[in-house]
Amino acid sequence: MSSATTLAVALNGLAGSIIEVEAHCANGLPAFVLVGLADTAIKEARERVRAAINAVGISWAERRVTVNLSPADIPKTGTGFDLALAVALLSAGGYINPALARGVVHIGELSLDGFLRPVRGVLPAVNAAVAAGYNTVIVPTQCADEARLVPAAQVIGASNLAQVLRYYGNHQVALPRGRKVNQTSPAPSAQSQASQASQASQASELDLSQVVGQSEARYALEVAAAGGHHMLMIGPPGAGKTMLAQRLPGILPDLNDADAVTVTSVHSLAGTLEAKKGLLRRPPLRSPHHSATRAAIVGGGSGLARPGDISLAHCGVLLLDEAPEFAPSVLDCLRQPLESGTITIDRARGRATYPAKFQLVLAANPCPCGKASAKGDKCTCSSLRRRNYLQRLSGPLLDRIDIQIEVMALSSSALRGLGQGESSSQVAARVAQARAHARRRLADTPWSLNSQVPGHWLRGPQADLDAQVLGLLELAMRAGLSLRAIDRVLRVAWSIADLQGHKRLTKTDVASAISLRSKGICDG
């Protein structure tokens, strides 16, 4: 009778828990019992592990084997437990020194021929291991670069189970056949590789200089970037709404280290992280089709939920093109994450929380045919149909959108004499400077962007609004703007002031902010 223990990681959202994989071998009727709230993928690992151990030349003993995944009350999902199961069994069988494997975290899926396959979520799993005090991690070679993004981690990349055994000192095992492998034992990574893996800012192929005309819409986009404001653009097909929205990430600043790790972790968990790309330093852009389901946007799936588009757009831009065509339930589910910056998904096997701090951009036609505001084209929609079309964007959702503008189609005469507009890099420099102004002004507050500042602070004594600004706001309220709309105007006005380098709001800043809420779109 013998037993051994090694370590794995169970993920719940981006949070990870260290799991002790305890293997116990005893005489008795041959059996392989796996306990500890494991899902189907882990239970199927019994056959994968058995075949992989045989593939490296070790005979599977006909004994009674019990494997416990502890703590037993934490749900475990996925195939990333295969390697830990195999190492625990081999330690219990005497093929690995149990003392060597006890404090090492193992992550990876095993194929039947003994090779290791990559798994999702390696970066958050390694982060959780290091946070728990376990720095040595063995992962598949394909995931090693991703794991090395965690600076304190000592990462061992292995191609197959035989290399793992050789790392632990067992050189008697045979290398799996049928694939070309590196026959040397895996070695710990150098600490410098972690910094080399992080990439600098990635140049975007989408540039604002490609947008012809639309100076008002370009300015609105710059203000939205400066203050982190959500944005709605309404205009006829071909006016450039989508083209403008797709270029918003290009004028946003690079992500800081903490945000880059979080964004990269989410994409790792979703399986969208490209190999050897390092940390994602640029704000992501997600543009789901209008037929996307609620689960695709918010996150979902069987077992524990996977991140959806709102989480994949964390610290970036979520573009909903043809916004009124989305299902009302999909649009309404955006309201809570727009306020909190997170999304919590409940499933039968547990609750998962993902980050969802994104900048929302809605693009819409003015009516189903799209010609309601286009010059020279006759709209074929009835007034009732036009009204019902935009009413698909609910009032509570529009209440959260600071900038709402109309984008008009360019006429043929307007195209004459139009030169190339400013590039994204030029606009991005002004946006970065404006955000720096906002950070200095809000240094003693919990906020860093104008879009985050609550209305009571914007209207309070600390805002130091002069008589001209207060007079203009009073006129706006008499014209029909509600107090909530005034708060949104003030947020946008501060972003305009930051772009202009003003230390106090001016009447011109507020007037410009009011103009970025086009008549007929907002309800006051």
Q: What pLDDT is attached to residue 524?
A: 46
State how beta strands 109-110 and 105-106 pair: unpaired
Residue where a domain terminates, one of 434, 468, 492? 434
Q: Taking a C-beta distance cutoff of 8 angstroms, is the pair 321, 363 a contact?
A: yes
Q: What pLDDT is attached to residue 520?
A: 45
Distance, in Å, from the CA atom of 524 to the CA atom of 521, rounded to the nearest integer, reads 9
Same domain, 80 and 189: yes
- Does residue 478 belong to any structural domain of this protein? no
State how beta strands 109-110 and 299-300 pair: unpaired
Same domain, 23 and 120: yes
Per the structure, the count of domains in the chain is: 2
Same domain, 63 and 14: yes
| Cβ-based neighbour number of residue 147 at 10 Å | 29
Say which residues have a Cβ less than 8 Å from residue 257's Cβ, sequence separation at least 6.
279
Distance, in Å, from the CA atom of 373 to the CA atom of 238, rounded to the nearest integer, reads 12
- Write the Ramachandran bin of 52: left for phi over 0, alpha for psi from -120 to 50, otherwise beta: alpha
- Write the Ramachandran bin of 133: left for phi over 0, alpha for psi from -120 to 50, otherwise beta: left
Tens of pLDDT along 273-320? 887 778 999 999 999 999 999 999 999 877 678 899 999 999 999 999
Residue where a domain terminates, one of 197, 229, 250? 197
State how beta strands 350-355 and 342-347 pair: antiparallel
HEC secondary structure over 143-160: HHHHHCCCCCCEEEEECE
Q: Taking a C-beta distance cutoff of 8 angstroms, is the pair 317, 359 a contact?
A: yes
Q: Taking a C-beta distance cutoff of 8 angstroms, is the pair 139, 147 a contact?
A: yes
Q: Provide the mean pLDDT of the chain.
A: 88
Q: Would you place residue 220 in the very low, low, confident or very high pLDDT band (cuts 50, 70, 90)?
A: very high
CATH classification at residue 312: 3.40.50.300
Same domain, 244 and 330: yes
- Does residue 159 belong to any structural domain of this protein? yes
Q: What pLDDT is attached to residue 275?
A: 74
Say which residues have a Cβ less than 8 Å from residue 188's Cβ, sequence separation at least 6.
136, 154, 155, 156
- Does residue 177 belong to any structural domain of this protein? yes
Angle (CA) 11-14-16 rounded to 5° is 40
Distance, in Å, from the CA atom of 368 to the CA atom of 414, rounded to the nearest integer, reads 26
Tens of pLDDT along 198-211? 333 334 478 998 88
Tens of pLDDT along 239-278? 889 999 999 999 999 999 999 999 999 999 998 888 777 8
Same domain, 226 and 277: yes
Q: Would you place residue 171 in the very low, low, confident or very high pLDDT band (cuts 50, 70, 90)?
A: confident
Q: Is the pLDDT of residue 106 over 50?
A: yes
Same domain, 176 and 263: no
Q: Would you place residue 180 in the very low, low, confident or very high pLDDT band (cuts 50, 70, 90)?
A: low
Same domain, 257 and 393: yes
- 366-375, 376-385, 392-401, 491-500 — which one is most confidently predicted on average? 491-500
Q: In this structure, which amino acid lies at residue 282?
A: R
Residue where a domain terminates, one of 178, 197, 216? 197
Mean pLDDT of 325-334: 94
* Residue 94 CA: distances (Å) to CA of 58, 103, 169, 418: 11, 17, 12, 77
Distance, in Å, from the CA atom of 157 to the CA atom of 145, rounded to the nearest integer, reads 9
- Does residue 11 belong to any structural domain of this protein? yes
Angle (CA) 136-142-143 rounded to 5° is 45
- Does residue 455 belong to any structural domain of this protein? no
- Does residue 342 belong to any structural domain of this protein? yes
Same domain, 215 and 164: no
- Does residue 404 belong to any structural domain of this protein? yes
Q: What pLDDT is attached to residue 447?
A: 94
Same domain, 95 and 151: yes
Q: In this structure, which amino acid lies at residue 183?
A: Q
> What range does the domain containing 65 cover?
2-197
Same domain, 191 and 294: no
Which one has a higher pLDDT value, 176 or 453?
A: 453
Same domain, 295 and 427: yes
Calculate what percentage of the chain has a pLDDT beyond 70: 90
DSSP letters of 110-138? Answer: EPTTSBEE--S-HHHHHHHHHHTT--EEE
Q: Helix, strand, coil proportions of the chain in percent (round to 5)?
A: 40, 20, 45
Distance, in Å, from the CA atom of 276 to the CA atom of 272, rounded to the nearest integer, reads 12
Distance, in Å, from the CA atom of 229 to the CA atom of 359, rounded to the nearest integer, reads 7
Tens of pLDDT along 486-508? 999 999 999 999 999 999 999 99
- Does residue 129 belong to any structural domain of this protein? yes
Query: How many helices and strands (H and E) does the chain possess?
Result: 23, 18
Helices 215-227, 483-500: crossing angle, 10 deg rounding: 100
CATH classification at residue 86: 3.30.230.10
Burial (0-12, 13-18, 19+ Cβ within 10 Å), 9:
buried
Tens of pLDDT along 455-480? 999 988 888 899 999 999 999 999 88
Same domain, 158 and 299: no
Q: Is the pLDDT of residue 427 over 90?
A: yes
State yes or no: cis peptide before 337, omega within 30 of 0: no
Give the closest residue to 235 by CA, choosing from 224, 244, 248, 246.
Answer: 244
| Nearest 10 degrees: Cα torsion 516, 517, 521, 524 | 180
